[in-house]
Amino acid sequence: MAAEISFDIVSQYDEQELVNALDQTRREVTTRFDLKDTKTEITHDKKGITITTASEFTLKQVRDVLDTKLVRRGLDLKILKPDEVQQAAGSRVRQQIELQQGVSQDLAREITKLIRDKFPKVRTQIQGDAIRVFGKSRDDLQAIIAALKARDVPVPLQFTNYR
């Protein structure tokens, strides 16, 4: 009897890389000529990122800088879930950006259903905010990884613990 092979489907990001990208963004905003006097504030907590600045135009420019820094640091932009732009005190604007980590239960069910429909020889198990996939054939598991990479999901997926 052949041993079962498995891997995990997770959605995570490197917290330190995010902090470094935010620091680089703050530094560039304070030194860039067109953004220097906007009194832009970028704060980060466990739930997300808050950007407060002078106008929607400067907010868009700060978001462009932030997106560039995140991509250069190897972070997927799918981890950001921006809310609507709100008016803040003193004719300023604020935007909350939620950070997405982990595979939601609904998305996990959708992914497991997709795997069960296309690959009947493998089995899946939802474990909190991750999905474990078991199978006897490495080829099947690699085909699952390729199929999920080709599919457009709302969060970035990583495939870990391949054994």
* Helix (H), strand (E), coil (C) string for 75-133: CCHHHEEEEEEEEECCCEEEEEEEECCCCCHHHHHHHHHHHHHHCCCCEEEEECCEEEE
Structure confidence by residue, pLDDT tens digits, 58-115? 999 999 999 999 999 999 999 999 999 998 888 899 999 999 988 989 999 999 999 9
Q: Which of 10, 130, 28, 9 is nearest to 70 (CA)?
A: 28
**Do 46 and 80 lie in a common domain?**
yes
Q: Which of 61, 80, 99 is the last residue of a domain?
A: 99
**Domain span at residue 138?**
5-12+102-160
Q: What is the pLDDT of residue 2?
A: 59
**Do 86 and 112 lie in a common domain?**
no
**Do 95 and 20 lie in a common domain?**
yes
User: Model pTM?
Assistant: 0.84
